[in-house]
Structure formats: C-alpha cells, structure tokens
Amino acid sequence: MPSGPLVKATALHKTYRTGADEPIRACDDVSVEVERGEIVAVTGPSGSGKSTLLHLIGALDSPDDGTIVVDGTEITALKRRRLPEYRRRIGFVFQRFHLLPTLTAADNVAAPLLPYKTAFDKHAKAAELLDAVGLKGRETALPAKLSGGQQQRVAIARALVNDPVLLLADEPTGNLDSRTGEEIVDMLFELRERLGTTMMIATHDAGLAERCDRVVRVRDGKVTDA
C-alpha cells in the first residue's frame, strides 16, 4: 500500500464556460488531503463547488489545472482510456439513488460486476453486501417496492461491490427525512468500521458534517476551512 494520504488534490482549478454568461469558477485553487480510513465532510452553500470537487476526485470530470493523486496513482496524469479502470476503484453514491428500476435489489448491486470476470460469485457478493446494509431478505425486491432509505442502502451496497478504495457520496441523505438520513449515516460509519473504507461526503446537513472526522468547507469554489 503506498504511504501518505489516500487522496492528495493540489491546486485544482475548474472553470465552466456556458455561452455568453460569466465563466463560473467551480473550483478555484483547491487543495485537499484525505487520510486512509478517514470520513471527511465537504460542506458549503449551494453552488459552492462541492459536487465539482467530488466529480474531479472521482474522475467523472477533469480539472483545467492541478493534480490529484489517489492511492499512489496520479489520476490527472492518466490517459483517458485508463480512467474507467480508475473509476471502478471508486464507489459513488448520489442523492437520487439512481437504481435501475427493472432490476431487483441484488441485481442492482451486482450490476457493476456483470461485464467482468470475477474470482468470486457475483450474486453471493451482492447478497453479502445487502446483508451488510441491513437488507437481508429483500434481495429480490424491485426498487419501487423499497422505501427511500432502503433504496439508498441498495445504492450504497452497489457502490461497495468493487471494494472501492474511496467512497464519494454526494448528498447521500438529501432525499431522505432526518431520521432515515441518520440511519444511513450510522450505516456508513458501521461500514467504515467493518471495511475501513475512506469516504468523502458532500452535504448540506450540519448534523451529518459534525459527525464526520473532519469538515472541509468550500465557498465560491475555494476551501475556506479544512
């Protein structure tokens, strides 16, 4: 395992230019480090650049300038064709669950594995993860038959199916009532205990942020407090 922080992002810049409007500096000289096993909250007002930062670190988008090293690999130096391989090592969780409506809970969890040969049984792994997120017995349920909190649990199980080195969660409790949101956060902490997964969580939820090991605050694309 390479030494040093799991994530080291240095002097990231990302400007969006849309037509005639003023360019938007969504990421303006942002540097962040995340230690292995750490759970870091990213907070800030709407439009401050939280999602942009997560997208850059997950290589869903690329910075205009700056470097990102994750687990010893400089992803900003990777060739475009190598990025899918990197993204498979990252788990993504979104506010709107994004489950495939025609697949069962277990098939949703196993879906990212389907194109690949694995040394283990894909469906056994999906069942194991559904158990880990508290959904044992609901393997064959379709998303529409599950509550919002249960759907987010399925989405988290799916995000973990490739044993990610890093989990990036963008407003994971944003569509849930506060009690269900708390349960999801409890579960993320339990998963960290069990699997040691490092997490970055973008959130508006002050209660969630407070429970994290550390809070990185952003405003107008800049880190104001890390």
Contacts to Mg ion by CB under 5 A: 50-51
197 binds ligand ATP (CB under 6 A): no
26 binds ligand ATP (CB under 6 A): yes
Q: Which of 51, 76, 173, 198 binds ligand ATP (CB under 6 A)?
A: 51
End-to-end CA distance of the chain: 25
User: Residue holding tokens 């998963």?
Assistant: 191
SS3 per-residue string spanning 65-99: EEEEEECCEEHHHCCHHHHHHHHCCEEEECCCCCC
Identify each DSSP E strand in 139-187 by its residue range: 166-170
95 binds, among ligand ATP, Mg ion, none (CB under 5 to 8 A by kind): none
| Alpha-helical segments (H) within 12-147 | 50-57, 83-87, 105-110, 122-132
Which span (33-41, 45-53, 105-113, 179-187) binds ligand ATP, by CB under 6 A?
45-53
Give the per-residue contact string, 5-24, with ligand ATP (x = CB under 6 A; - = no). -----------x-x-----x
Q: Which of 49, 58, 66, 143 binds ligand ATP (CB under 6 A)?
A: 49
61 vs 128 by CB, closer to ligand ATP: 61
216 binds ligand ATP (CB under 6 A): no
Separation of alpha carbons 181 and 130, rounded Å: 18
What sign for the dihedral angle of Cα 192, 175, 161, 187? positive
User: Residue holding tokens 């969504």?
Assistant: 26
50 vs 153 by CB, closer to Mg ion: 50
User: Residue holding tokens 């759907």?
Assistant: 151
Q: Which of 23, 46, 115, 119 binds ligand ATP (CB under 6 A)?
A: 46
Q: Which residues bind ligand ATP (CB under 6 A)?
A: 16, 18, 24, 26, 44, 46-52
